[in-house]
Amino acid sequence: MPNAIQSFLTDNKVSNINYNVSGDSIPSYDSYKKLCLEAENNFEEFWGGYATKLLSWSKTFSKVLDDSNKPHYKWFIDGSMNVTVNCLDIHLTNGNSNKNAIIFESDDGDVSKITYKDLFVRVCKFANGLKNLGYKIGDRCIIYMPMSIEVIVAMHACARLGIIHSVVFGGFSSKSLHERILDIGASLIITSDYQKRGGKQIPLKSAVDDAISLGNCDSITNVIVYKRTGSSINWLDDRDLWMDDLENNQLDYCAPVFVDAEHPLFVLYTSGSTGKPKGIQHSSAGYLLWSKMTMQWTFDTRDDDIFWCTADVGWITGHTYIAYGPLSLGLTQVIFEGIPTYPNSDRFWKMIENHKVSIFYTAPTAIRSLIKSSCIDPSVHPDNFDLSSLRVIGSVGEPISPDTWKWYYKNVGKENCPVADTWWQTETGGHMITPLPCLNYLKPGSCSLPLPGIFASVVDESGEEVPNATGGFLVIKKPWPGMIRNIWGNTERFRTSYFPEELKGYYLAGDGAQRDSDGYFWIMGRIDDVLNVSGHRLGTMEIESALVSHSKVSEAAVIGRSDDTTGEAVVAFIVMKGDKPSNEDAVNIAKELRNWIACEIGPIAKPKDIIFGDSLPKTRSGKIMRRLLRSIANGENINQDTSTIENISILDKFSISF
Ligand code: WT7
């Protein structure tokens, strides 16, 4: 073990816990190194071995990797399987049948549990219902649902039949939903009447109705509705169906449709650096394998674990570490409908205590807000709860600052649980660079070392590796089974944004990074026009194009500034048609623009600050100088070269922020 890591041990020693050495976890640093070497020396055997051992195939693959048409890598050639067989059927005969698959806690605190056997039956019944309606392999289904047992049933029923699902986060507006329905060409939508969050009832079905009414949705033949609250909704008799009516009277077995290893399991939309979200397409076998392997490796899972990931299924974290990973391993997991601050900011700690959660996986933004709450009200501090069931705690979605890391480690993990600061992306399918529980040497703020089989590096513009302690582009040099397969309907964008020729065909993550002398990775934030607000990815161009589509806005530039709670916050510089508004008018216009963004994209994209000006700083060639705006928004001194600005005087004329 290198010296610098050892020196850290005194500060951040993780107590020696009893590692799971019987399964496929990685029990020691030596075994980690051994696996890394194995992957390096026998790349295909490494992956092929895991695919044979960990997945159940209806037809075994004849070749591990086909890289003849880079970057369209294909994994497990000729293999066929079904994802739900690997998450449900296998548990009917391995002793897990009566084990709880899900412990669901609703917003108002009601708890319901479902066993593997019962989940299997519900998935089969619902899949039979979908089959009776005529849905089949290759069809696309939009899922717009709250956190529930039902959303898991919906996803798995699609997977049972080879229907490609695309889950849209319930916080996205009907406009965003519409854009995704059209892009994917969905024929089916599964939603719920309402969702409950923080004691409030939020309509979902009406957003679906609105999305469909925006036009060109003739492809949609049914909207299936899970009755969450029973409050009134509009109903179209020949299109809308209740989920429980569809499940009723169906047979409790549905034969799985075995699909090719590469068959798309799902498409999940995420933001990029253009105005249009990208449909990230994942495979069936490779994705599930990576989801199962990383679940086991990163969290060192055991049969008696109670796992809780607080993400929403609308994001990749909710796909890999709620819908698929835990079920593939036969674990018991908690699924939570509500929010961390309702009814009080001790909800997470209460739930960990009540359900005896042993692995807890959440986002830095939630931790930051709970730190704040417990400073204001000591009664919600984690010290008031019995968190002794915890064994591993994780962080996901954005950089976790050393201060937040230490608070989490000390107050939640009681200096007894390793913190898994997992770096990965929608595109990577699962964890990529993350501290394994066996590492024992953790550096707050670093996501540490790549998992075995992941050849991560930091390179310059020409793809050459940079020395340690030097910033560069984070790349992955070799393919891996869980990787993105395509951007739905846009192969060209897939090739150019992720595998640019200049970078030797490496996978370009879009993050800046550097490595320290121990080889530990430090992520330095996005290198493109993508923001990370509360762990949610937002494209600045997306917000800009939504702003300029407002009738009063002439020009808009959106950038990010750092924020104590949300990590980054959206700042919009606005030039109105006509004169810059007076401070009085600006308050109202800012409100109007925020509501506009909530409708166009969703409340998560609302600008925190809105700054009005007469024009935007541009270069002589007309490019908006974002770097400069970023300095202004972050309250920094402008020490950049402003000589290329066409209209330098405008800098003094920006308003305060509204
Ligand atoms: C972007 C991916 C990871 C799944 C959920 C978000 C940032 C993610 C970390 C981390 C620093 C991180 C990166 C990445 N990010 N994890 N541990 N440390 N940054 O997935 O929406 O696809 O966002 O989130 O910038 O590129 P996503």
Q: Which residues contact 426 (CB under 8 A, 6 or more apart)?
A: 268, 270, 280, 315, 316, 484, 537
Distance between Cα 513 and ligand 1 center (Å): 12
Distance between Cα 325 and ligand 1 center (Å): 18
Pocket probe mutation, ligand 1, options 400, 424, 447, 475, max atoms within 8 Å of Cβ: 424
Give me the chain's average pLDDT, please: 93
- CATH 3.30.300.30 residue ranges of the chain are 534-634
Helices and strands of the chain, counted as H and E runs: 19, 30
Q: Which residues contact 376 (CB under 8 A, 6 or more apart)?
A: none
* pLDDT, tens only, 34-44: 999 999 999 99
* Pairing verdict, β 530-533 and 521-526: unpaired
- Counting residues of the chain whose pLDDT is more than 90, the rounded percentage is 85
* pLDDT, tens only, 235-285: 999 999 999 999 999 999 999 999 999 999 999 999 988 888 999 999 999
Distance between Cα 366 and ligand 1 center (Å): 15
pLDDT of residue 114: 98
Tokens 């997306």 belong to residue = 542
CA-nearest of 222, 237, 174 to 202 is: 174
Amino acid identity for residue 390 in this structure = L
Distance between Cα 395 and ligand 1 center (Å): 10
Distance between CA 411 and CA 391 in Å, rounded? 13
Topology, domain 108-257: Rossmann fold (3.40.50)
Confidence of residue 378 (pLDDT cuts 50, 70, 90): very high
Find residue 511's DSSP bridge partners.
526
Q: Cis before residue 2, ω within 30 degrees of 0?
A: no
Confidence of residue 15 (pLDDT cuts 50, 70, 90): very low
- CATH 3.40.50.980 residue ranges of the chain are 108-257
Q: What is the mean pLDDT of residues 11-23?
A: 39
Distance between Cα 319 and ligand 1 center (Å): 15
Confidence of residue 96 (pLDDT cuts 50, 70, 90): very high
Atom 15 of ligand 1: nearest residue by CA position: 398
Q: What is the mean pLDDT of residues 394-416?
A: 94
Atom of ligand 1 nearest to the CA of 433: 17
Position 4 pLDDT exceeds 80: no
Atom of ligand 1 nearest to the CA of 428: 22
pLDDT of residue 11: 40
CA-nearest of 550, 530, 527 to 277 is: 530
Atom of ligand 1 nearest to the CA of 271: 21
Distance between Cα 476 and ligand 1 center (Å): 15
Distance between Cα 424 and ligand 1 center (Å): 5
Distance between Cα 262 and ligand 1 center (Å): 25
Atom 23 of ligand 1: nearest residue by CA position: 425
Yes or no: say if 565 and 404 are a contact pair by the CB < 8 Å rule: no
Q: What is the mean pLDDT of residues 278-300?
A: 97
Atom of ligand 1 nearest to the CA of 422: 17
Atom of ligand 1 nearest to the CA of 526: 25
Atom 8 of ligand 1: nearest residue by CA position: 397
Atom of ligand 1 nearest to the CA of 535: 6
Pocket probe mutation, ligand 1, options 537, 568, 604, max atoms within 8 Å of Cβ: 537
- Counting residues of the chain whose pLDDT is more than 70, the rounded percentage is 95
Amino acid identity for residue 628 in this structure = L
* pLDDT, tens only, 416-449: 999 999 999 999 999 999 999 887 688 999 999 9
Q: What is the mean pLDDT of residues 345-362?
A: 98
pLDDT of residue 650: 73
In terms of pLDDT, which residue wins out, 526 or 109? 109
Task: Describe the strand order of the beta sheet including 111-115 as a list of residue ranges.
Answer: 111-115, 100-105, 332-336, 306-309, 359-362, 392-396, 419-422
pLDDT of residue 210: 98
* pLDDT, tens only, 205-236: 999 999 999 999 999 999 999 999 999 999 99
* pLDDT, tens only, 620-632: 878 888 888 888 8
Distance between Cα 34 and ligand 1 center (Å): 27
Reading phi first (left if > 0) and then psi (alpha if -120 to 50, else beta), residue 445 is in left
pLDDT of residue 602: 95
Q: What is the mean pLDDT of residues 386-401?
A: 95
CATH H-level, domain 534-634: superfamily = ANL, C-terminal domain (3.30.300.30)
The secondary structure of residue 466, as a DSSP letter, is: P
Distance between CA 384 and CA 347 in Å, rounded? 12
Atom of ligand 1 nearest to the CA of 395: 17
Distance between Cα 356 and ligand 1 center (Å): 28
Atom of ligand 1 nearest to the CA of 423: 17
Atom of ligand 1 nearest to the CA of 427: 22
* pLDDT, tens only, 542-558: 999 999 999 999 999 99
CA-nearest of 511, 520, 395 to 449 is: 520
pLDDT of residue 646: 67
Distance between Cα 429 and ligand 1 center (Å): 12
Atom 1 of ligand 1: nearest residue by CA position: 425
pLDDT of residue 644: 67
Pocket of ligand 1 (CB under 6 A): 270, 315-317, 396-399, 421-426, 447, 509-511, 523, 526, 532, 537
Yes or no: say if 308 and 361 are a contact pair by the CB < 8 Å rule: yes
Position 193 pLDDT exceeds 70: yes
Yes or no: say if 638 and 629 are a contact pair by the CB < 8 Å rule: no
Name the CA dihedral angle for 480, 486, 492, 495, rounded to a multiple of 10 degrees: -10
pLDDT of residue 632: 85
Tokens 């880079």 belong to residue = 70
Mapped onto helix, strand or coil, the DSSP state of residue 224 is strand
* pLDDT, tens only, 634-649: 888 777 777 766 666 7
Mapped onto helix, strand or coil, the DSSP state of residue 82 is coil
Amino acid identity for residue 318 in this structure = G
Q: Which residues contact 106 (CB under 8 A, 6 or more apart)?
A: 112, 196, 337, 338
CA-nearest of 319, 493, 346 to 411 is: 346
Q: Let me know how long the chain is.
A: 658
Q: What is the mean pLDDT of residues 50-63?
A: 96
Q: Which residues contact 3 (CB under 8 A, 6 or more apart)?
A: none
Atom of ligand 1 nearest to the CA of 530: 25
In terms of pLDDT, which residue wins out, 613 or 23? 613
Find residue 197's DSSP bridge partners.
200
Distance between CA 165 and CA 144 in Å, rounded? 10
Pocket probe mutation, ligand 1, options 475, 483, 523, max atoms within 8 Å of Cβ: 523
